[in-house]
Structure 1
Amino acid sequence: MDVVARHLATIDRLRTRDLPAGGAGHHTVELETGHGPGPAADDLHALRESIAQRLAAHWGEAPPWGQLTLRLRLARGEDIPEPWATLCLRTDELDVWQAGTLWLAIGVADRDESDETRLLATVTRTAPP
């Protein structure tokens, strides 16, 4: 199984898991981890794009959602629901789809230069703000 197919299978399993009771609930998993900026981050961005293309074939085209506006809203003290508040601090953009009553997001967490770069997938009941 190729790496994209493996991550798509993980996302499918994530969509079928029970979300935590109470509130909106969400699950976020690391699909892949790179070490440091540069090529590792570039590889994860390319992998995210490949996964997004396959998901778009199933769920429809979804332009990437820039996270700067959410970061500015947080900085002004606005209450941004989870998982979107954390995702906007960790990623610069997300690919987001609505799948029935769930929302699916994938993005590369590469904003912290002192941390590893991570390809994330999130499933939640909470619509993006």
Structure 2
Amino acid sequence: MRLMAFDYGTKRIGIAVSDPLQIIATSLTTIHPDEVFTFLKEYLKTEQVETFVVGKPLQLDGTASESAQHVVGFIRKLQKEFPSIKVVEVDERFTSKMASSAIAQSGMRKNKRQSKALIDTVSATIILQSYMESKGF
């Protein structure tokens, strides 16, 4: 079964998934928050997901950031809509910077590298990869 990670934002949600053997994290898509549950219901018709991994926005000192309340609401709705899928939170500090850096080193043209949607999906991939590494996948 797959793992699925979310880099939640009020304008866009970056989504990444693992392969069924949970070895590789891959960017899946970026979607508007209003469309995410419709997207998930369709996705889950054909794919099995064991765990949702949600990036937890923290400040440098470890306290919740201003956007944390939105993430809490998103997690509650995930748990309500998909009660059989475990939800875990992962510290997402620095993932956007890491994503921007990884994209910059990829050799993409500058206008493509600055795409916020691309940064969000790469951030979700980094969140998923860090979760998988922490679990010894």
Common fold: TM-score over 0.5: no
Higher helix share: 2
State the TM-score, normalizing by the size of structure 1: 0.29
TM-score (norm 2): 0.28
